[in-house]
């Protein structure tokens, strides 16, 4: 292949090139990696097998990935899958007899406002129905390229605070934050970000200014800024919209962080599902170099040198976890690290590293542009500023809502014109589900924190189907390193099968609870610790529902579950 492999941080890029060239990763491609990097073949195989999108066998000239998130299921996933199978002649998980189409399922692809959706050769196809699927496949059979016939992805910004109060989604002019640095010292940038009270928007809400300060105080000349653009939490698409609508704002946030901590290199870890955004980001980076917002002596500040590289992921939810992400960027399996050190102490290549979410960088850039006061003037004392929500599911206006922290769930439901809401999942499957009794809760750190995903389900949706989708997602995405996560998700999934088959008893409810508690206490990382959240909370908040399904609801029997298989499983478990 054209570009030789020089060090391990280039491994994912090399594997992508090999796959793009041959349709899959051949044994000789892996052998080339072992030679170039002086590592064993098993080590390379370990990396390849970790990522969903790397294929070890021919996977079709055109590869189709159908989104199987819960929102997609509610919007007709089964029909779309059948339509693809009919049109291509391939069965899900395989390739059609001619070898033209490979058809696969995948987890949320960040298009929940446009479901049902699929990626074809990593280009987005949205709002699918059976007729559209037939037409798309017809065109591909006639030689059209997915790049030419894919759908434009609208940003669907549905609501921002009125007047001049929007912070993130206000008009963006390149360079306003980057150039503001000239009037600041690194310390005063950190002080301003600390004063604003900005916290990380990736879900853990760690104070951003403090993180930057830790990194600044670490000794060593080489430091890194990493933008976490993995956005894997099902139902979240806010980072997609930020990167699509104003990629420069995110870059400026990274530049501000680099100046504050003294970093000279930046990396954006872009999830493979957003590969269609790669060129746009790359162009923006190049434009920034031309206008001296990247490169040497940025904004005329002597000695402030910083540049950014884009790293494409390869499909693994756990790589959103910051230490797994660092491993992945180093060309390893995306397994979370032991938490002996913070990334600010030992991050990328063991050097001090700031990892922040896309939205956090955008907010930091706005703070430099507008000042901390403007940020503090909205939101609540504990959660100042605004937050982007990705709203999807049963509502008339799915899309992005920039809400002031402190907005109630009820207000969001009204804004998006929710359709008979019943079960609302806040912060994705690893977050919290709420019932309509809680709609007066405020979306804020001291009440109901939200990382960005806001999925609405109405009364016609089966809570069990939602929970089974979440559990199957976590089982699939578990990196497998720790036993409670690897086994716990599997066991809970099997238990839910019993519920679905009407074979569950009261003991099974208690068993699920105790497995959930074990996982929360003993899993190595946030994936396993948060995986049982929805299940445990649903039992608390919808007790009537669980009572009913344990007491044999005959309706469910007619929904096509494999009763005999579930009965066999039950026997296996009880013996
Ligand atoms: C399983 C798992 C997945 C995660 N996925 C993401 C993600 O996709 N994007 C993100 O920014 N943070 C994600 N996080 C949180 C990151 O580990 C980290 O806290 C965050 O990137 C820090 O940035 P922030 O302080 O700006 O939020 C995830 C955490 C876990 C445990």
* CB-ligand 1 contact for 362 (6 Å cutoff): no
What is the distance between the terminal CA atoms of the chain, rounded to a whole angstrom? 54
* CB-ligand 1 contact for 232 (6 Å cutoff): yes
- The structure tokens 């679905």 sit at 500
- Say if CB 420 and CB 459 are below 8 A apart: yes
- Say if CB 115 and CB 69 are below 8 A apart: yes
**What would the mean pLDDT of 393-409 be, rounded to a whole number?**
98
- The structure tokens 């007729």 sit at 131
The pLDDT, as a whole number, for residue 162 is: 85
Structure-block tokens of residue 447? 């009440």
* CB-ligand 1 contact for 385 (6 Å cutoff): no
Strand spans (E) along 194-270: 224-229, 265-270
* CB-ligand 1 contact for 204 (6 Å cutoff): yes
The pLDDT, as a whole number, for residue 547 is: 80
- Say if CB 409 and CB 395 are below 8 A apart: no
Q: What is the DSSP string of 81-125?
A: HHHHHHHH-PPTTEE-TTS-EEEEEES--S-GGG-S-EEETTEEE
The pLDDT, as a whole number, for residue 3 is: 72
- Model confidence at 538: pLDDT above 70: yes
Q: How far is ligand 1, taken at its centre, from the CA of residue 18, in Å? A: 29
Cα–Cα distance for residue pair 240/157, rounded to 1 Å: 12
- Model confidence at 170: pLDDT above 90: yes
Cα–Cα distance for residue pair 55/103, rounded to 1 Å: 12
pLDDT band at 548 (very low <50, low <70, confident <90, very high): confident
Cα–Cα distance for residue pair 205/208, rounded to 1 Å: 8
* CB-ligand 1 contact for 206 (6 Å cutoff): yes
- Say if CB 11 and CB 47 are below 8 A apart: yes
Torsions phi, psi of 12, nearest 5? -60, -40
Instruction: Please report how the helices 543-550 and 506-522 are oriented relative to each other, as an axis angle in degrees rounded to 10.
Output: 130
Which residue's alpha carbon is at the smallest distance from atom 22 of ligand 1? Answer: 356
The DSSP code for 307 is E
pLDDT digits (tens, 9 = 90+) for 88-136: 999 999 999 999 999 999 999 999 999 999 999 999 999 999 999 999 9
Average pLDDT over the chain reads 95
Cα–Cα distance for residue pair 192/176, rounded to 1 Å: 16
pLDDT digits (tens, 9 = 90+) for 451-468: 999 999 999 999 999 999
pLDDT digits (tens, 9 = 90+) for 175-197: 999 999 999 999 999 999 999 99
Quick one: 96 exposed, middle or buried, by C-beta within 10 A (0-12, 13-18, 19+)?
middle
- Say if CB 419 and CB 413 are below 8 A apart: no
Q: How far is ligand 1, taken at its centre, from the CA of residue 368, in Å? A: 23
In whole angstroms, how far apart are CA 419 and each of 277, 415, 435, 456? 32, 11, 14, 8
Q: How far is ligand 1, taken at its centre, from the CA of residue 203, in Å? A: 6
- Say if CB 297 and CB 303 are below 8 A apart: yes
Atom of ligand 1 nearest to the CA of 271: 8
Which residues contact residue 267 at a Cβ distance below 8 angstroms, ignoring those fewer than 6 apart?
224, 225, 226, 227, 308, 309, 310, 311, 329, 348
pLDDT digits (tens, 9 = 90+) for 343-378: 999 999 999 999 999 999 999 999 999 999 999 999
Beta bridge partners of 494: none
Cα–Cα distance for residue pair 510/16, rounded to 1 Å: 45
Question: 209: helix, coil or strand?
Answer: helix
Structure-block tokens of residue 164? 């001049």
- Model confidence at 575: pLDDT above 50: no
Beta bridge partners of 229: 270
pTM across the whole model: 0.95
Which residues contact residue 134 at a Cβ distance below 8 angstroms, ignoring those fewer than 6 apart?
83, 86, 87
pLDDT band at 537 (very low <50, low <70, confident <90, very high): very high
pLDDT digits (tens, 9 = 90+) for 493-512: 999 999 888 888 888 888 99
pLDDT digits (tens, 9 = 90+) for 274-305: 999 999 999 999 999 999 999 999 999 999 99
* Choice among 154-163, 234-243, 386-395, 433-442 with the minimum mean pLDDT: 154-163
Structure-block tokens of residue 423? 């079960």
Find the DSSP H helices in 291-356: 322-329
Strand spans (E) along 147-291: 157-159, 224-229, 265-270
For residue 280, which of 223, 253, 242 has the smallest C-alpha distance? Answer: 242
């Amino acid at each position: 292949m054209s570009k030789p492999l020089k060090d391990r941080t280039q491994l994912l890029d090399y594997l992508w090139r090999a796959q793009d060239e041959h349709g899959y990763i051949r044994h000789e491609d892996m052998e080339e990696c072992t030679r170039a990097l002086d590592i064993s073949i098993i080590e390379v195989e370990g990396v390849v097998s970790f990522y969903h999108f790397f294929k070890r066998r021919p996977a079709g000239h055109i590869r189709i990935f159908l989104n199987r998130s819960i929102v997609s299921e509610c919007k007709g996933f089964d029909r779309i899958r059948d339509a693809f199978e009919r049109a291509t002649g391939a069965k899900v998980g395989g390739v059609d007899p001619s070898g033209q189409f490979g058809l696969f399922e995948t987890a949320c692809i960040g298009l929940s406002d446009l479901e049902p959706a699929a990626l074809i050769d990593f280009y987005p196809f949205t709002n699918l129905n059976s007729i559209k699927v037939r037409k798309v496949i017809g065109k591909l059979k006639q030689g059209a390229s997915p790049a030419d016939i894919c759908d434009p992805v609208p940003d669907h910004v549905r609501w921002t605070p009125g007047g001049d109060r929007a912070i993130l989604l206000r008009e963006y002019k390149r360079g306003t934050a980057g150039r503001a640095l000239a009037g600041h010292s690194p310390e005063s940038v950190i002080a301003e970000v600390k004063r604003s009270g900005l916290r990380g928007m990736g879900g853990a809400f760690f104070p951003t200014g403090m993180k930057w300060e830790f990194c600044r105080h670490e000794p060593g000349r080489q430091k890194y800024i990493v933008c976490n653009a993995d956005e894997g939490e099902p139902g979240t698409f806010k980072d997609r919209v930020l990167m699509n609508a104003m990629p420069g704002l995110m870059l400026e946030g990274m530049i501000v962080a680099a100046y504050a901590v003294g970093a000279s290199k930046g990396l954006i870890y872009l999830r493979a599902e957003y590969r269609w955004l790669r060129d746009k980001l790359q162009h923006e980076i190049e434009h920034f170099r031309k206008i001296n917002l990247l490169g040497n002596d940025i904004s005329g500040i002597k000695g402030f040198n910083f540049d950014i590289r884009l790293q494409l992921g390869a499909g693994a939810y756990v790589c959103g976890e910051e230490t797994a992400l660092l491993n992945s960027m180093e060309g390893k399996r995306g397994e979370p690290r032991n938490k002996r050190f913070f990334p600010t102490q030992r991050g990328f290549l063991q050097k001090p590293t700031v990892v922040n979410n896309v939205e956090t960088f955008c907010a930091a850039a706005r703070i430099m542009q507008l000042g901390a006061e403007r940020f503090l003037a909205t939101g609540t004392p504990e959660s100042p500023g605004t937050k982007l929500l990705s709203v999807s599911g049963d509502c008339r206006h799915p899309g992005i809502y920039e809400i002031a922290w402190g907005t109630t769930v009820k207000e969001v439901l009204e804004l998006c014109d929710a359709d008979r809401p019943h079960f609302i999942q806040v912060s994705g499957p690893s977050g919290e589900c709420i019932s309509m009794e809680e709609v007066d809760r405020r979306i804020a750190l001291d009440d109901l924190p939200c990382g960005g995903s806001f999925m609405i389900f109405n009364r016609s949706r089966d809570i069990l189907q939602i929970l089974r989708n979440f559990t199957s997602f976590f089982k699939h995405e578990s990196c497998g390193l720790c036993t409670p996560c690897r086994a716990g998700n599997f066991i809970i999934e099997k238990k839910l099968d019993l519920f679905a088959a009407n074979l569950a008893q009261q003991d099974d409810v208690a068993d699920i609870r105790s497995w959930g508690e074990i996982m929360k206490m003993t899993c190595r990382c946030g994936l396993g610790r948060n995986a049982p959240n929805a299940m445990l909370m649903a039992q608390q908040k919808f007790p009537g529902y669980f009572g009913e399904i344990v007491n044999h609801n005959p309706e469910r029997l007619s929904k096509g579950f494999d009763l005999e298989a579930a009965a066999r499983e039950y026997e296996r478990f009880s013996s």
